[in-house]
Copies of this chain bind each other. A is one copy, B any other.
Amino acid sequence: MRLTAKSEYGLLAMIDLALNSGEQPVSAREISERQAIPAKFLEQLMVQLRQAGLVSAVRGARGGFVLDRAAEEITVLNVVEALEGPLHTTVCDGDRAETCGRSGACAAASVWKQATAALRDVFTATTIADLSRTQVRLDDAAGTEPAHEG
């Protein structure tokens, strides 16, 4: 239940990959420059995305990353959980659940559960493909420097 810059950067990176990786992989440096993400920080995120099975890495010169499945098959939830860990309630959880005495039988807990479920719904309903299309549309409308080149 905690969203940080990691999730934002992660989404931007995944959108960038969806839009720019064709035959060739896209290097972390390219993404970092295009999306204005600190290079070394992005490197760490790419490792997590790889470990989560969302991207594949190509090592060595001319290496980089490619999406490991179709952008339609990667949800925002996949990216967020890869970077922030499983989306759980944060509150009324773990230790507290026992120390408060009413293990599970707590009215407050139901609200947190609903909140988590609502977030999960939103994050599951949107894919990287959706966001890529949205981004292209926004870039074209603005006529500014696009995040995609080809």
Contacts and interface: CB of A to CB of B under 8 A. Distances in A.
B141 A105 contact: yes
Contact of A11 (B1, B35, B108): B108
A122 B132 contact: no
Contacts of A132: 107
Copies held by the complex: 2
B119 A107 contact: no
Contacts of A110: 131, 134
A7 B1 CA distance: 13
A105 B110 CA distance: 36
A131 to B, nearest CB: 4
Nearest to A92: B8
A54 interface: no
